[in-house]
């Protein structure tokens, strides 16, 4: 049987994945061949009697599973962006095998002996900076993942890792299935008062799709349910959908409570086995922050700076509700609604006023124009490049000055039941040496924006525009990488540094010079008026304290699960409330939990790392101040950011890279200045 996962020549920059040719039945044999190939490479390395060198050992490990990495990358990217019943089932079968293979390497004593031999003589090897970093990273990977354990301990570690690989998949699927299984159907038009016409049209289309005639339907995909929360005047309907969203994967067939507790316990057990006090201590050894104590101090410091402003913000919302209704009570499902009302009152504009100026196609061209003005990139759509779904667009990225091929960029913007919620950037091929040749990257951004309707195009909210710029920043980190080793290239950096390229891009969204490039009315072509831009800028720090504390609460919750012994935790809801009580404004609503659907920390890579969003906010606020001082499209600053941050991946410690760009360490007060919490 021909297999496009194996038969295609992937050794060229323009070797694009033949998605339409890939069928479910191709994955199992391709995975098996990839696993067999990787095992043979490890067996050769383990049995080698040659003197251990950087080339035959460290590089041998770096490139020992090229086929498997390609197959695995395609499979798991599709699992997130375009899954089906086979992919869901097979991911549970293949994940433990991949975990086992990783342990075959990390727990292989002869291979570790070779790595240690190279590491011990590193001072005499005359390695360049990138080679030194790869050697250090490889040695630490062995040490941190069990190479120094006894054989019986290694077997325990293997079983933990296999179990965790299954649990993470189960957690993610439960969130997706519970989200997809919910549908709020409304038949009385009076209950839809306040909701914008565009959202109602989308709700009508969803109802028709779900065979619900003469009705409007809302699901738990963000573009569907949030307009109801933000604009719906019917408080009982807001309450209904808020509770459904806040209670995802809390009960029934898709209950994640026991799963997340087991994940936390196994992570703790694994960390203790490896000699660490907690899972957070294990994770943070390889982060800029360095330790759980420093993360907690960081979060508490910002919480202290933000809490007073947050309390004031919250009281403003409560006062507005009382003024509007005479009611003293204020509920979580009131929050988005009165936030929008308060914004309209204070700044005399509604978020919906901006939508007509943010046609998706215009915003895409706008973000491309930013890449051009900052880094000299040109994005050219190529419809002949295969894609995995009709919604996906493919672009060739080239250097405007010399036409040099920079990489391939996929864009996938609309929700569907085969795609998980949220937004993310991923790679189909890391930049670096692949198949023996140094190749350019293939990256993708995946979002869930409002789909076009029969009467209007996809019109984004300001937050969705920021999301697109954010994920595009990650994409630039991948596209502009200029490294040798794939494991160090692009976004393969410390997790508390990886959000800098993405979050810094969000800063351009509300700059007048930036908006002029893409914020044009979808019907008239009129550029976003200066008066509205000024309102947007004034509203930038609106509720900054309150929203900041919400973000901090998620970091605190993550650290609560991962910085101490979780084996005593019996009640997920009670533990969660106790863990973040200093950052809460509402009494707990029974039957709701952030943890049960907190995929970032229980199914993604952010365990003991969610603080990194705030950490990176400090970095991005400080970095953008540099642009503001010199000009937001200043070529000198852009060149420095590209050379010292975007192109270098994880080839050096991120603080060294940042200092080379900025000339100093980041100023923590830059974030507080941007949010209006201290004077500029």
Do 118 and 190 lie in one domain? The reply is: no
CATH number of the domain where residue 132 is located: 1.20.1050.40
Residues 487, 137: Cα–Cα separation, whole Å:
10
Within this chain, do residues 101 and 230 fall inside the same structural domain, yes or no?
A: no
pLDDT for residue 350: 83
The answer to the question of residue 94 being in a domain is yes
Greatest CA span in the chain, whole angstroms?
82
- Do residue 20 and residue 132 come from a single domain? yes
Domain assignment of residue 280, yes or no: no
Same domain, residue pair 80 and 198: no
Is position 36 within any domain?
A: yes
Q: Which residue has the tokens 């039945």?
A: 25
Per DSSP, 410 falls in state E
Residues 121 and 189 in one domain: no
**Residue 15 is assigned to a structural domain of this protein:** yes
Same domain, 24 and 122: yes
pLDDT score of 540: 85
* Cα–Cα distance, 599 to 177 (Å, whole number): 13
Residue 57 domain-assigned? yes
Cβ(182)–Cβ(219) below 8 Å: yes
Mean pLDDT by 10 residues, the chain (680 residues): 92 94 98 98 97 97 96 97 96 94 93 97 96 97 93 95 94 92 96 95 94 96 94 98 96 95 98 97 95 96 91 96 96 97 89 93 98 98 98 98 97 94 95 90 96 91 96 98 97 93 96 96 95 88 92 97 96 96 94 96 93 93 97 98 98 96 93 84
Q: Are residues 25 and 122 in the same domain?
A: yes
Q: What is the pLDDT of residue 536?
A: 87
Considering the domain architecture, whether residues 96 and 203 belong to the same structural domain is answered as: no
Signed CA dihedral, 227, 230, 232, 235: sign only: positive
Say yes or no: 45 and 122 in one domain. yes
How many residues in total does the chain contain?
Answer: 680
Catalytic residue among 62, 340, 396, 471: 471
Q: Give the rounded distance of the alpha carbon of 587 from its chain centre.
A: 29
Classify residue 577: in a domain, yes or no: no
Three-state secondary structure call for residue 218: strand
One domain, residues 8 and 140 = yes
The Cα 219–Cα 679 span in angstroms is: 42
Point out the domain boundary residue: 247, 267, 299.
247
Q: How far is CA 414 from CA 88, 458, 534, 566, in A?
A: 21, 9, 30, 38
Six-digit token string for 520: 């044009």
Active site residue 471: yes
Structural domain for 45, as ranges: 4-106+108-144
pLDDT at res. 25: 97
402 found inside a domain: no
Number of domains in the chain: 2
Question: For 315, what's the count of Cα atoms within 13 Å in the CB-facing half-sphere?
Answer: 6
DSSP SS3 for 554: helix
**Final residue of a structural domain among 220, 247, 274:** 247
**Domain shared by 120 and 224, yes or no:** no
Task: Identify whether 204 is part of a domain.
Answer: yes
> Are residue 83 and residue 189 in the same domain, yes or no?
no
Residue where a domain terminates, one of 144, 170, 197: 144
CA distance 95 to 89: 10
Distance of CA 1 to the CA centre of its chain: 37
pLDDT tens digits, 5-18: 999 999 899 999 99
Buried b (16+ CB within 10 A) or exposed e, 100-138: ebbbbbbbbeebbebbbebbeeeeeeebeebbbbbbebb
């Amino acid at each position: 049987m021909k297999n496009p996962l194996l038969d295609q020549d992937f050794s060229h920059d323009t070797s694009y994945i033949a998605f339409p040719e890939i069928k479910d039945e191709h994955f199992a044999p391709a995975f098996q061949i990839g696993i067999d190939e990787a095992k043979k490479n490890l067996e050769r390395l383990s049995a080698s009697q040659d003197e251990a060198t950087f080339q035959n050992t460290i590089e041998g490990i770096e490139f020992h599973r090229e086929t498997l990495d390609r197959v695995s990358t395609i499979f798991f990217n599709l699992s997130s962006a375009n899954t089906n019943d086979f992919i869901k089932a097979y991911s549970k079968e293949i994940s433990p095998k991949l975990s086992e293979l990783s342990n075959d390497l990390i727990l292989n004593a002869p291979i570790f002996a070779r790595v240690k031999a190279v590491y011990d003589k590193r001072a005499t090897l005359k390695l360049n900076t990138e080679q030194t970093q790869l050697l250090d990273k490889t040695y630490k990977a062995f040490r941190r993942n069990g190479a120094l354990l006894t054989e019986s301990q290694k077997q325990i570690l293997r079983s933990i890792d296999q179990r965790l690989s299954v649990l993470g998949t189960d957690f993610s699927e439960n969130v997706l299935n519970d989200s997809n299984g919910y549908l709020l159907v409304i038949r009385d038009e009076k209950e839809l008062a306040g909701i914008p016409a565009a959202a109602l049209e989308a709700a009508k289309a969803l109802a028709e799709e779900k065979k619900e005639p003469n009705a409007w339907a809302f699901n738990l995909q963000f573009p569907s349910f949030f307009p109801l929360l933000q604009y719906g005047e019917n408080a009982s309907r807001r309450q209904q959908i808020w509770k459904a969203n806040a209670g995802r994967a809390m009960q029934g067939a898709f209950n994640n409570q026991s799963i997340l507790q087991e994940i936390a316990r196994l992570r703790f057990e694994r960390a203790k086995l490896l000699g660490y006090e907690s899972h957070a201590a294990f994770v943070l050894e390889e982060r800029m922050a360095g330790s759980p104590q420093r993360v907690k101090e960081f979060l508490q410091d910002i919480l202290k700076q933000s809490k007073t402003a947050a309390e004031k913000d919250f009281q403003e919302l409560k006062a507005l509700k009382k003024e509007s209704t005479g009611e003293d009570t204020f509920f979580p499902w009131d929050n988005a609604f009165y936030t929008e009302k308060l914004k309209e009152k204070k700044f005399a504009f509604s978020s919906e006023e901006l939508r007509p100026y943010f046609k998706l196609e215009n915003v895409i061209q706008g973000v491309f124009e930013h890449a051009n003005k900052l880094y000299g990139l040109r994005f050219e759509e190529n419809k002949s490049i295969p894609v995995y779904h009709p919604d996906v667009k493919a672009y060739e990225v080239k250097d405007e000055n010399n036409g040099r091929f920079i990489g391939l960029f996929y864009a996938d913007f609309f929700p569907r039941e085969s795609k998980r919620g949220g937004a993310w950037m991923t790679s189909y091929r890391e930049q670096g040496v692949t198949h023996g040749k140094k190749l350019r990257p293939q990256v993708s951004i995946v979002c869930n924006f409002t789909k076009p309707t029969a009467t209007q195009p996809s019109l984004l909210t300001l937050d969705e525009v920021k999301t697109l710029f954010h994920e595009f920043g990650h994409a630039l980190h991948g596209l502009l990488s200029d490294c040798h080793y794939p494991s160090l290239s692009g976004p393969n950096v410390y997790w508390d540094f990886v959000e800098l390229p993405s979050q810094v891009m969000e800063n351009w969204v509300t700059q007048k010079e930036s908006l002029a490039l893409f914020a044009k009315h979808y019907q008239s072509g009129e550029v976003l008026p200066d008066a509205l831009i000024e309102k947007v800028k004034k509203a930038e720090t609106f509720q900054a304290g309150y929203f900041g504390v919400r973000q901090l609460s998620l970091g605190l919750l993550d650290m609560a699960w991962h910085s101490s012994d979780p084996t005593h935790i019996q009640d997920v809801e009670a533990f969660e409330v106790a863990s973040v009580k200093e950052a809460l404004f509402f009494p707990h609503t029974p039957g709701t939990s952030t943890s049960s659907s907190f995929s970032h920390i229980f199914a993604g890579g952010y365990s003991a790392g969610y603080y990194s969003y705030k950490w990176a906010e400090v970095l991005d606020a400080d970095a953008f101040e540099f642009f503001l001082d010199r000009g937001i499209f200043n070529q000198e600053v852009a060149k420095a950011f590209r050379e010292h941050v975007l192109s270098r991946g994880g080839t050096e410690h991120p603080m060294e890279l940042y200092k080379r760009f900025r000339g100093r360490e980041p100023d923590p007060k830059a974030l507080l200045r941007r949010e209006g919490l201290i004077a500029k």
